Every structure is written in structure tokens, then in C-alpha cells.
């Protein structure tokens, strides 16, 4: 039997999480938009609310996934310029994640105490508060990703094709929020590896999960095919992102020494991309009309031209992904040290928690998930905050179990 958290406990977790996120919004400013990508999402939401159509481009070289702009339109009742309402809506969305993590913890550990610790940690986790303080996709993405994980786990605990179908649909919504989640679709076939059930039942669960994923994703993919005349599952930003993470400019980035050099690098990088497209428009207008694809091909050419340098760059990006502290260029020393201590502790405790977790099949799933999400980003583009919605939920799920092993009944 799987224990349940009382409804009042779930409501309390939700209320505390929302309050913490609203406080983070207040500290950042209810009207302030500081996140670099926020203008693209707000612009897409404005076009969508005014015309009823999603823009062909949200940025200079590509268009972003549609789910978050749609959420902004819905949350602000068609007025995405109402920044305070959008931020409060983000805070409310973010308040659901601690409850979902507590529910997942219950299914893994069958312990109300560990579930409460996970929920409480997630309610006040600094990274979760930060990403809910501005116009960012993480709150919506975490809602869909964690919901998909919970429902998939429930679908295998109590075999249900309907739940597996829902897990796939929720993962598709996550992909429509952040396209990197497309690579997680194979995880929907994980019930095939559960030997507790007959092969036929496992096949039905896996097929239902994948069907739910493709059924929800298909309308948007068909829309892209009709508008652009080619297969674009979610957005066309993949080529531009791959270039940003694998070009000669990326190697230059890792040689920068301070924020001043970084600011000059950003300007020069953007100017060079615009110059290339302007030159291409005169020689190959068709290629210039799809700039993201052009940059993707250019990056592949540069990688193949010097595989050794590409591998060295991937190693540098892997270290960047794993570092426990944020960039010293943007944060004061006290914040950098505090975050380094927090993540180092979470990594150690979560590693111990994974080693002693009672469900080895789930632990293997989680380890493959961690490896896959890291590999996806190392192969493309590593930005430190990209790790937060993928790895931090795992850390918060397993760290309490590791702490209980170290400190015993004091946290039970």
C-alpha cells in the first residue's frame, strides 16, 4: 500500500511554496523583467493574443516552443503586458512542484516523513524560487515534467494504459514548453523493462505512453509542416542552439576571464551571426530564409573539421554542467560560496539516497535520466540554469533518504 499525504498537508505545502515564490517575485520586482529571454516570450504572447496566430519568429533566427506564450496569454486574459499578473501566475504554478515531488517521494520510499522533507525542501529551494521570480518557462516545464513522471510511475505501480497515455501527453506538453524534452520520449517505453508484468501488458503500457506523446505533439508538428513546408516537431531553434554551443565562438567563450570580456563577446557573437545571414541573403536567399538550419549545418561542419577540438569542448561543457556554483561574473562571492555548499551537500546526500533507495528499477531509471539529460545538453548547449529543472528534482527526491541514512531518526 502506498501511503497518502493528507489533503491539508498538501494544501499547506502548496501555500508555503506559493508564498515563498511571491516573496521572490517581490524581491525581484513585480514590474521588472530582467531575464534575457523574457521579451521573446512576451512578444510571442502579444502577437498570439492580437492576431490569434503564433509568430513565425520569436527571435532573430528562430521561433520558440509555444506552450509558455500560450500560458502567458491565458494567465493574463490576453494582456501579456500585465507583468505582475504573469509573475504571480508563475509563482502559483511553481507552488505545485513541491506537492508533486512529495507525491513521487511517497511512491518511491513509502515514507510520509521523507515525502514531507522533499516537499519542504522543494518549497524553499533557492533555484526554484529564482526561476519563478521572472518571466521564465521553468515553472510550467516543471509542472508538466513532474506530472508526467508521477503519472508514469503510477501507471506501472498499478498497470493502467489510461495513466500511461496521460504520462505521454504530459511529456509532450513539457516538450512544447522546452524542446529538449523531445529526447525524453524513449523513457515512456520504460514499462517494457518491468518484469513484474507479462510482456503483453508491458507492451500496452509503453505503446499507450508513446501514443499519448505523439497525439498531443502531432497538431503542432502538422501546423509547422503546413506553415514552413518541412518537419519541425516543436521549434526550429535547434540549429541555432547547436551553433551557439559548438562553434568557434563557444571555444572563445571558455577563454573569457571576466564579465567585461563576456559582454563584448556577446555583442561580437550576435553581430557576426547577423553579418553571416546578411551575406547569405545575397548569395543564397533560400538558405538565409532558414537561418537556424544554416547555423546548424555550419556548426556540424566545424565539428567535423576538428573532432579533437570538439571533444575537448564537450569535456569543458560537461564540467560546466557539473559545477556546483553559478557564474562568478554575475553573482557576489557570498552567493557563489553558499550555492556551492548547498549543491555539494545535495549531490552527496542524493548520491547516498540513490544507493540505498528501495526500488532499484526506479533508481536505474533515474540514473539513465540524469545521464541522458546531461548528454543532451553537452552535445548542444550548456547553460548552468538548464540543469535546474532536470537535475534538481532528483536531488530533492533522494537527498532526504541520504540524510536519514546519515542522521537516522532525527529526520524521520
Digit-by-digit pLDDT tens for the chain (412 residues) are 788 899 999 999 999 999 999 999 999 999 999 998 999 999 999 999 999 999 999 998 899 999 999 999 999 999 999 999 999 999 999 999 999 999 999 999 999 999 999 999 999 999 999 999 999 999 999 999 999 999 999 999 989 999 999 999 999 999 999 999 999 999 999 999 988 889 999 999 999 999 999 999 999 999 999 999 999 999 999 999 999 999 999 999 999 999 999 999 999 999 999 999 999 888 888 888 889 999 999 999 999 999 999 999 999 999 999 999 999 999 999 999 999 999 999 999 999 999 999 999 999 999 999 999 999 999 999 999 999 999 999 999 999 999 999 887 555 5
Residue 176 has which C-alpha cell? 512544447
Residue 37: count other Cβ atoms within 10 Å of its Cβ. Answer: 15
Please give the Cα distance from 136 to 138 (Å, whole number): 6
Residue 210: count other Cβ atoms within 10 Å of its Cβ. Answer: 18
Determine the pLDDT at residue 277. 92
Domain ranges of the chain: 245-305, 330-412
User: Which one, of 314, 243, 300, lies nearest residue 273 by Cα?
Assistant: 243
Determine the pLDDT at residue 412. 55
Instruction: Give 3-state DSSP helix, strand, coil % of the chain, rounded to 5.
Output: 75, 0, 25
For residue range 361-391, what is the model confidence (pLDDT) as tens digits? 999 999 999 999 999 999 999 999 999 999 9
| Distance, CA of 158 to chain centre | 28
Determine the pLDDT at residue 195. 86
Give the predicted TM-score (pTM) of the model. 0.95
CA 365-241-323 angle, 5° bins = 55
The H or E element containing residue 203 is helix 199-228
Please give the Cα distance from 358 to 138 (Å, whole number): 30
Would you say 33 and 39 are in contact if contact means Cβ atoms under 8 Å apart? yes
Determine the pLDDT at residue 410. 56
Would you say 137 and 178 are in contact if contact means Cβ atoms under 8 Å apart? yes
Residue 101: count other Cβ atoms within 10 Å of its Cβ. Answer: 28
How many H helices and E strands in the chain? 19, 0
For residue range 129-141, what is the model confidence (pLDDT) as tens digits? 999 999 999 999 9
User: What whole-number percentage of the chain has pLDDT above 90?
Assistant: 91
Would you say 384 and 330 are in contact if contact means Cβ atoms under 8 Å apart? no
Amino acid at each position: 500500500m502506498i501511503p497518502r499525504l493528507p489533503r491539508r498537508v498538501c494544501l499547506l505545502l502548496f501555500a508555503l511554496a506559493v508564498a515563498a515564490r511571491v516573496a521572490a517575485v517581490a524581491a525581484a520586482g513585480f514590474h521588472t523583467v530582467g531575464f534575457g529571454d523574457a521579451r521573446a516570450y512576451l512578444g510571442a504572447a502579444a502577437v498570439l493574443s492580437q492576431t490569434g496566430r503564433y509568430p513565425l519568429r520569436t527571435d532573430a533566427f528562430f521561433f520558440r516552443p509555444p506552450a509558455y506564450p500560450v500560458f502567458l496569454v491565458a494567465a493574463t486574459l490576453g494582456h501579456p503586458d500585465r507583468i505582475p499578473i504573469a509573475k504571480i501566475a508563475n509563482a502559483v504554478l511553481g507552488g505545485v512542484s513541491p506537492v508533486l515531488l512529495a507525491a513521487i517521494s511517497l511512491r518511491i520510499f513509502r515514507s510520509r516523513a521523507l515525502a514531507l522533507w522533499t516537499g519542504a525542501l522543494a518549497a524553499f529551494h533557492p533555484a526554484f524560487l529564482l526561476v519563478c521570480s521572472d518571466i521564465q518557462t521553468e515553472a510550467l516545464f516543471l509542472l508538466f515534467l513532474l506530472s508526467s513522471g508521477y503519472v508514469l510511475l503510477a501507471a506501472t505501480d498499478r498497470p493502467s494504459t489510461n495513466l500511461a497515455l496521460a504520462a505521454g501527453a504530459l511529456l509532450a506538453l513539457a516538450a512544447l514548453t522546452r524542446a529538449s524534452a523531445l529526447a525524453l520520449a524513449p523513457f515512456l517505453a520504460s514499462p517494457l523493462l518491468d518484469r513484474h508484468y507479462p510482456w503483453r501488458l508491458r507492451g500496452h503500457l509503453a505503446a499507450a505512453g508513446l501514443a499519448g506523446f505523439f497525439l498531443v505533439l502531432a497538431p503542432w508538428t502538422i501546423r509547422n509542416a503546413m506553415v514552413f513546408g518541412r518537419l519541425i516537431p516543436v521549434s526550429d531553434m535547434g540549429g541555432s542552439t547547436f551553433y551557439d554551443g559548438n562553434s568557434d565562438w563557444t571555444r572563445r567563450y571558455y577563454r573569457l576571464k571576466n564579465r567585461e570580456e563576456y559582454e563584448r563577446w556577446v555583442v561580437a557573437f550576435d553581430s557576426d551571426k547577423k553579418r553571416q545571414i546578411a551575406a547569405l541573403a545575397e548569395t543564397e536567399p533560400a538558405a538565409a530564409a532558414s537561418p537556424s538550419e544554416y547555423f546548424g549545418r555550419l556548426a556540424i561542419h566545424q565539428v567535423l573539421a576538428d573532432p579533437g577540438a570538439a571533444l575537448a569542448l564537450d569535456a569543458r561543457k560537461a564540467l560546466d554542467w557539473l559545477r556546483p556554483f553559478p557564474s562568478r561574473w554575475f553573482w557576489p562571492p557570498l552567493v557563489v560560496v553558499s550555492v556551492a555548499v548547498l549543491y555539494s551537500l545535495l549531490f552527496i546526500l542524493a548520491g547516498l539516497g540513490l544507493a540505498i533507495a528501495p526500488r532499484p528499477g526506479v533508481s536505474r531509471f533515474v540514473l539513465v535520466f540524469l545521464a541522458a539529460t546531461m548528454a543532451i545538453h553537452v552535445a548542444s548547449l550548456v547553460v548552468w540554469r538548464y540543469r535546474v529543472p532536470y537535475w534538481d528534482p532528483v536531488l530533492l527526491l533522494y537527498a532526504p533518504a541520504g540524510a536519514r541514512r546519515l542522521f537516522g531518526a532525527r529526520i524521520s
